[in-house]
Amino acid sequence: MALSITAGINEEDYQASGRYKYPLKQLTAPFEITFNYVKADYRSVFAFYGAEHQATSERMERNAQDYISFIEGL
């Protein structure tokens, strides 16, 4: 079990000192708790940041390759 998230904003906005004050890992904690509760084989979170304003063709292609690597590593 893993989570894949497309975030419209930049990664630095999801930091304790960032715009939203919480890292993505902390925001997804309820999912992780649930996966542990049901004894799912939870692995990790994959995130594509900046999708709303910075989703160039090159970034999308690089993200797709990164996602494939993430899936293969599960």
Q: Span 3-72: which CATH code? A: 3.40.50.360
Q: Tens of pLDDT along 22-50?
A: 999 999 999 999 999 999 999 999 999 98
Within 13 Å, how many C-alpha atoms sit on residue 71's CB side? 7
Which residue stretches of the chain are H helix? 24-27, 29-37, 57-72
Measured CA to CA, the distance from residue 25 to residue 38 in angstroms comes to 19
Q: What are the domain boundaries of the chain?
A: 3-72
Q: Tens of pLDDT along 56-69?
A: 899 889 999 999 99
pTM: predicted TM-score of the whole model, two decimal places: 0.79
